């Protein structure tokens, strides 16, 4: 950076900063003349980490959000014509364990640059303190009938959770699991779901399918986990799993409980990725909110958030958005934010629990939501490490058969529409094609297939299944029992066993 003329560089203390914290640093850090114009994030994200596992490089722009495709395409183009690499020879070592600034001067004294070690934890938590009422949340946490458990999964969020829950909110250190960051995530897969967050699910009394196991007595009232770089989240109540799609819908329905939204007159718009269930759509319709269905990827939400500020378009903020892949956030930053989602749930719980009143639980809030809006029974099957040629051949076959599958009756379901999802951005007009294959059934059910762009080695095929039940229907069934016939339909439409050789998924969420 210094050799190429960059005159100010920030490095997070200990080299650790969560993805949402980096966004906060870009947007909130320092006076205007010190503001950074972008950031590199080196991370395995939610994939297995370590010397023999995954490693990725993210670039975030001056708005704090992920680089759009037009920028990453230009970056790639430039890499094809690199003719030399410049190195700042003799630059001093910087102790990343100590906050402070190191000034680097050229030998002839003609120029200088600054390398500053900054506090990534404080930058993020200071922002979150302006978003939430931590006093009300502390009153909830201090109730004798309420306790929490947070699993950092040996990812970057551990120091944030310690500072927030232990030091700021006065909770015992025992409420934290796996809170020491490790470069290989302790040999585990730091993805907050029912398959990999096993320490948390055991603590909260649920199995790999989110069903209760054992006795409820003595279990925490609230559980949450975050991933390797701190931008994803999973939320649970006592023996109760909240799907990411339901979580987004509940947050939208109760957004006015969150000071950040309430002080600005409430949310104006919500957005979800295409594979995410339509639960939030029902809330948007009831509350007359603008609704957007985008491809998977936070950059699409960022454009909507910045519609007015950067593009002179419609102002959609305050803005709430989320993905079924355990990502939720708002326009306080331009990334999904695991800790934000956890605090949002705690804020909602705090607003429903007056002092000395009977405890209103996570499960009660979700079931009341279903009774109001109906329930979108929803499940995702992940086939990880699949042979890529086979996975691509499967997607190509479904793409070629969209016309013939439209109108087809399979297993009692009529395919009203089979298509390949494409998106024209309403803000900048950019077009994103081939964003997943959709089978939209006549009764409103959906089957969707995607190849993941954020998985580890090989290919990951994701299969999404959704079936809606109105408020008058059976709302408390086991999801696997409700969508079982839809699974058989998905297998028939995709021929996934034939193309991949996989009889069962790696992960069911």
Confidence at 457, pLDDT banded by 50, 70, 90: low
Beta-bridged to residue 376, according to DSSP, are: 468
What are the tens digits of pLDDT across the range 110-126?
A: 899 999 999 999 999 99
Burial classification of residue 464, based on how many CB atoms lie within 10 Å of its CB (0-12 exposed, 13-18 middle, 19 or more buried): buried
Taking a C-beta distance cutoff of 8 angstroms, is the pair 291, 284 a contact?
A: yes
Confidence at 44, pLDDT banded by 50, 70, 90: confident
Confidence at 173, pLDDT banded by 50, 70, 90: very high
- Indicate the average pLDDT of the chain: 95
Integer Cα distance of 383 and 461 in angstroms: 5
What are the tens digits of pLDDT across the range 73-109?
A: 999 999 999 999 999 988 899 999 999 999 999 888 8
Confidence at residue 24, expressed as pLDDT on a 0 to 100 scale: 97
Query: Which of 51-60, 90-99, 158-167, 500-509 shows the lowest mean pLDDT across its residues?
Result: 51-60
Confidence at residue 400, expressed as pLDDT on a 0 to 100 scale: 98
What are the tens digits of pLDDT across the range 390-425?
A: 999 999 999 999 999 999 999 999 999 999 999 999
Confidence at residue 48, expressed as pLDDT on a 0 to 100 scale: 79
Phi-psi region of 394 (alpha: psi -120 to 50; beta: other; left: phi over 0): alpha
Which positions are catalytic? 45
Query: Which of 25-39, 83-97, 174-188, 326-340 shows the lowest mean pLDDT across its residues?
Result: 25-39
Taking a C-beta distance cutoff of 8 angstroms, is the pair 267, 289 a contact?
A: yes
Task: Spell out the residues 6+ positions from residue 426 whose beta carbon is closer than 8 angstroms to its own.
Answer: 292, 304, 307
Task: Spell out the residues 6+ positions from residue 384 whose beta carbon is closer than 8 angstroms to its own.
Answer: 455, 456, 458, 460, 506, 507
Confidence at residue 454, expressed as pLDDT on a 0 to 100 scale: 56
Taking a C-beta distance cutoff of 8 angstroms, is the pair 337, 24 a contact?
A: no
User: How many CB atoms lie under 10 A from the CB of residue 214?
Assistant: 12
242 HSE (CA, 13 A, CB side): 33
Residue 68 has phi, psi (to 5 degrees) of -75, 165
- Write out the two tokens for 192: 């907050």
Q: Are strands 459-469 and 431-432 parallel, antiparallel or unpaired?
A: unpaired
Taking a C-beta distance cutoff of 8 angstroms, is the pair 258, 252 a contact?
A: no
Q: pTM of the prediction? A: 0.95
Taking a C-beta distance cutoff of 8 angstroms, is the pair 344, 258 a contact?
A: yes
């Amino acid at each position: 950076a210094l050799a190429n003329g960059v005159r100010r560089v920030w490095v997070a203390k200990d080299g650790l900063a969560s993805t949402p914290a980096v966004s906060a640093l870009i947007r909130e850090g320092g006076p205007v003349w010190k503001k950074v114009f972008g950031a590199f994030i080196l991370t395995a994200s939610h994939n297995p980490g370590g010397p023999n596992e995954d490693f990725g490089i993210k670039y975030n722009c001056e708005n704090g959000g992920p680089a759009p495709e037009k920028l990453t395409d230009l970056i790639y183009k430039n890499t094809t014509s690199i003719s030399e690499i410049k190195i700042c020879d003799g630059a001093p070592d910087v102790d990343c364990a100590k906050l402070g600034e190191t000034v680097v001067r050229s030998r002839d004294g003609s120029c200088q640059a600054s390398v500053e070690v900054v506090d990534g934890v404080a930058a993020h938590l200071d922002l979150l303190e302006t978003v939430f009422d931590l006093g009300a949340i502390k009153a909830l946490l201090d109730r004798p009938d309420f306790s929490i458990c947070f699993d950092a999964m040996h990812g970057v969020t551990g120091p944030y959770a310690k500072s927030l829950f232990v030091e700021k909110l006065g909770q015992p250190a025992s409420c934290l699991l796996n809170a020491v960051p490790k470069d290989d995530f302790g040999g585990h897969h730091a993805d907050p779901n029912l398959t990999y967050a096993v320490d948390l699910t055991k603590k909260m009394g649920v199995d790999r399918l989110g069903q209760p196991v054992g006795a409820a007595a003595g279990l925490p009232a609230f559980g949450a986990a975050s991933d390797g770089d701190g931008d994803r989240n999973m939320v649970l109540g006592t023996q109760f799993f909240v799907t990411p799609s339901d979580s987004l819908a509940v947050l939208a329905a109760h957004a006015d409980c969150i000071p950040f939204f309430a002080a600005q007159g409430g949310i104006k718009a919500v957005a979800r990725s295409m594979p995410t269930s339509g639960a939030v759509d029902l809330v948007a319709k009831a509350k007359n909110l603008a609704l957007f269905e985008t491809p998977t990827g936070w950059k699409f939400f960022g454009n909507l958030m910045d519609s007015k500020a950067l593009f002179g378009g419609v102002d959609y903020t305050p803005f709430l958005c989320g993905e079924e892949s355990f990502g939720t956030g708002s326009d306080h930053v331009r990334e999904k934010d695991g800790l934000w989602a956890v605090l949002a749930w705690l804020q909602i719980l705090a607003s429903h629990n007056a002092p000395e009143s009977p405890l209103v639980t996570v499960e009660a809030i979700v079931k009341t939501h279903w009774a109001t809006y109906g329930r979108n029974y929803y499940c995702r099957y992940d086939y990880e490490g699949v042979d890529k040629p086979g996975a691509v051949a499967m997607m190509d076959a479904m793409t070629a058969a969209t016309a013939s599958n439209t109108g087809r009756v399979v297993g009692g379901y009529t395919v009203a529409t089979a298509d390949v999802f494409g998106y024209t951005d309403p803000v900048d007009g950019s077009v994103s094609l081939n964003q997943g294959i959709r089978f939209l059934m006549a009764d409103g059910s959906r089957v969707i297939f995607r190849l993941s762009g954020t998985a580890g080695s090989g290919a990951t095929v994701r299969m999404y299944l959704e079936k809606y039940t109105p408020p008058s229907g059976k709302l408390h069934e086991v999801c696997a029992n409700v969508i079982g016939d839809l699974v058989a339909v998905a297998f028939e439409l995709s021929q996934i066993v034939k193309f991949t050789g996989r009889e069962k998924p790696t992960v069911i969420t």
